[in-house]
């Protein structure tokens, strides 16, 4: 079935499988295309824009996702989880003469929000959307890490810095999309490898520099065997100064452009389309997804079963639709940060709860609407009445509108994947944040005075303030960060964390798919002449890489 998106006016397809799913979860057909649906969800997810403000309960200074002056109270982690207040105090009776979402908006303005979303972490004050971490600093959307810094979506890793989408790794720097890597620097899409420097798409390899598309390699430079002495000499030469590393980055970029890439970064996948997939089965448009079963239109997801249109969902969510930021939740729709719960709709930040509709910050609750408790029978009747009113006014079956997000569009992950100008964002109903975070013009060390090597740096540098060479924002170097650079022989960075993050993200494919034909023309493969295989890929047609289908890639690389 073909439909036209009510936001961007682009045509999109609803598959027969989608229709079955919508019937299964009792939801109407979507009015928005997959991209606009995802952008709306992500507009509620601020990960890295942090502000200093006092807790509105204990008045202690804290770091928060929200600037001072918000319409709603903001509590620090301790106060938000304490018994000093009760979200039931803000309960509202449903008014059938007012649109339901307007009533929910009023509840939003009264119920306190948590300053940062951190679960079971130790000494990780500057982390967000993070859980089970220890001694970490400025890591986001990350779990079960230790002694790690300045990274996004790292999992079960130790002593990694300036990385993104890194799993089960240790002592690595500026790595993207790597798994089970140790002591790897400036590398991408590598697995089960050790001591890599500027490498791309290596597996089960060690001691390699400027290598691509390699398997079981050892002591190699530019994919050619070398001696241990030659390897150590080349590594020392590259890491000798900031300038030599920048030259190596330029050389590495050219090398990557000449490499062969598989149509998708996919391992152990079956009948799945998307990119950055691991052990995914039966689904379409899966991005940064692992262990998915019969799930589609998902991103940043682990172990979902029979789910659609979800972002940042983990711990086996099941039968969930149009959700953002959930853990181990089932049979829920159109909600944000609902965890360990079931049968929740249009709710926000509810925990260990069942059958909540339009609720905020409830814990261990049942049969509640607008934070007010009902009997099961009362709940069922009232919920049915509310759903009927939302169907009538056209709001049911769609995620919360953009202007109900507590964040400006430019503060959220939506800006990263679906960038809009201020005018475009406002025209689409989103909010915009004009307040800038951080400081400018307070640097004590000019860029020209930055040391070229880590050997030139003393502990006095910890007192210095630098300015990002890209955006001009001030930043410092922490003690743990300095120790990390010294251990690996790396020079100090010249950019602040956000600019370094954006540089890493620019190396990844977008969350979009194009239909393309395999570019392989090898005569020793199973086809004659050019390969006829067609696939959906996140590599745009104008990209310079040689994009191969699964069969040709395996024949060439394995």
DSSP states along 154-197: EES-EEEES-EEEES-EEEES-EEEEEEES-BS-BS-EEEEEEE
Residue with the bigger pLDDT between 185 and 438: it is 185
Residue with the bigger pLDDT between 452 and 355: it is 355
Q: H helices within 404-538, ranges in order? A: 414-417, 422-427, 479-488, 497-505
d(CA 147, CA 137): 8
Q: Please state, in angstroms and as integers, the Cα–Cα distance from residue 250 to each residue in 158, 478, 488, 493, following that order.
A: 28, 28, 21, 16
The answer to whether residue 339 scores a pLDDT higher than 80 is yes
The answer to whether residue 524 scores a pLDDT higher than 90 is no
User: Helix, strand or coil for residue 74?
Assistant: strand
d(CA 405, CA 42): 10
The answer to whether residue 34 scores a pLDDT higher than 90 is yes
Single pTM value for the model: 0.92
Going by pLDDT thresholds of 50, 70 and 90, the confidence category of residue 448 is confident
**Residues 72-120 pLDDT 10s:** 999 999 999 999 999 999 999 999 999 999 999 999 999 999 999 998 9
pLDDT of residue 202: 96
pLDDT of residue 489: 94
d(CA 449, CA 52): 30
**Residues 245-277 pLDDT 10s:** 999 999 999 999 999 999 999 989 999 999 999
Number of residues that this document lists for the chain: 558
**Domain extents in the chain:** 447-505, 514-557
Which residues lie below 8 Å from residue 96, measured CB to CB, with a gap of 6+? 385, 389
User: Helix, strand or coil for residue 78?
Assistant: helix
The answer to whether residue 235 scores a pLDDT higher than 80 is yes
Q: Indicate the average pLDDT of the chain.
A: 95
């Amino acid at each position: 079935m073909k439909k036209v998106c009510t936001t961007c006016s682009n045509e999109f397809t609803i598959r027969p499988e989608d229709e079955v799913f919508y019937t299964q979860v009792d939801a109407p057909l979507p009015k928005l295309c997959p991209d606009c649906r995802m952008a709306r969800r992500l507009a509620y997810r601020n990960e890295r824009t942090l502000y200093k403000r006092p807790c509105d309960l204990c008045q202690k200074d804290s770091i928060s996702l929200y600037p001072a002056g918000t319409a709603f109270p903001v509590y620090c982690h301790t106060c938000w989880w304490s018994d000093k207040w009760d979200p039931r105090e803000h309960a509202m009776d449903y008014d059938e003469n007012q649109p339901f979402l307007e009533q929910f908006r009023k509840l939003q303005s009264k119920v306190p929000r948590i300053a940062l979303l951190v679960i079971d972490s130790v000494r990780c004050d500057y982390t967000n959307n993070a859980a089970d971490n220890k001694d970490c600093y400025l890591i986001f959307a990350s779990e079960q890490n230790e002694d790690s810094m300045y990274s996004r979506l790292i999992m079960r890793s130790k002593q990694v810095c300036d990385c993104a989408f890194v799993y089960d790794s240790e002592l690595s720097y500026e790595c993207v999309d790597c798994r089970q890597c140790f002591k790897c620097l400036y590398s991408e899409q590598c697995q089960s490898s050790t001591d890599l420097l500027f490498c791309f798409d290596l597996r089960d390899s060690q001691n390699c520099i400027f290598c691509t598309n390699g398997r079981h390699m050892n002591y190699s430079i530019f994919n050619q065997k070398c001696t241990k002495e030659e390897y150590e000499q080349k590594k020392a030469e590259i890491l000798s100064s900031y300038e030599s590393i920048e030259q190596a980055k330029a050389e590495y970029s050219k090398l990557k452009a000449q490499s062969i890439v598989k149509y998708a970064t996919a391992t152990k996948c079956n009948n799945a389309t998307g990119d950055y997939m691991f052990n995914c089965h039966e689904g379409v448009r899966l991005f940064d997804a692992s262990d998915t079963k019969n799930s589609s239109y998902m991103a940043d997801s682990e172990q979902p079963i029979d789910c659609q249109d979800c972002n940042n969902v983990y711990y086996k969510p099941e039968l969930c639709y149009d959700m953002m930021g959930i853990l181990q939740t089932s049979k829920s729709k159109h909600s944000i940060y609902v965890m360990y719960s079931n049968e929740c709709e249009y709710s926000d930040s509810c925990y260990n709860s069942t059958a909540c509709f339009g609720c905020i910050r409830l814990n261990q609750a049942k049969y509640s609407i607008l934070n007010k408790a009902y009997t099961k029978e009362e709940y069922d009747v009232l919920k049915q009445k509310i759903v009927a009113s939302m169907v009538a006014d056209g709001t049911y079956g769609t995620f919360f509108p953009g202007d109900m997000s507590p964040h400006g569009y430019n503060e959220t992950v939506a800006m990263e994947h679906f960038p809009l100008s201020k005018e475009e964002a406002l025209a689409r109903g989103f909010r915009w944040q004009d307040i800038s975070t951080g400081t400018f013009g307070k640097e004590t060390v000019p860029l020209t005075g930055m040391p070229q090597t880590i050997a030139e740096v003393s502990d006095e540098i910890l007192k210095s303030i630098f300015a990002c060479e890209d955006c001009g924002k001030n930043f410092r170097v922490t003690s743990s960060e300095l120790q990390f650079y010294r251990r690996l022989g790396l020079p100090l960075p010249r950019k602040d964390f956000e600019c370094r993050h954006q540089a890493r993200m620019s190396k990844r494919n977008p969350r979009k798919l194009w239909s393309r034909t395999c570019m392989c023309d090898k005569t020793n493969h199973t086809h004659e002449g050019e390969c006829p295989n067609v696939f959906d890929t996140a590599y745009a047609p104008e990209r310079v890489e040689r994009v191969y289908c699964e069969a040709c890639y395996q024949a060439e690389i394995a």
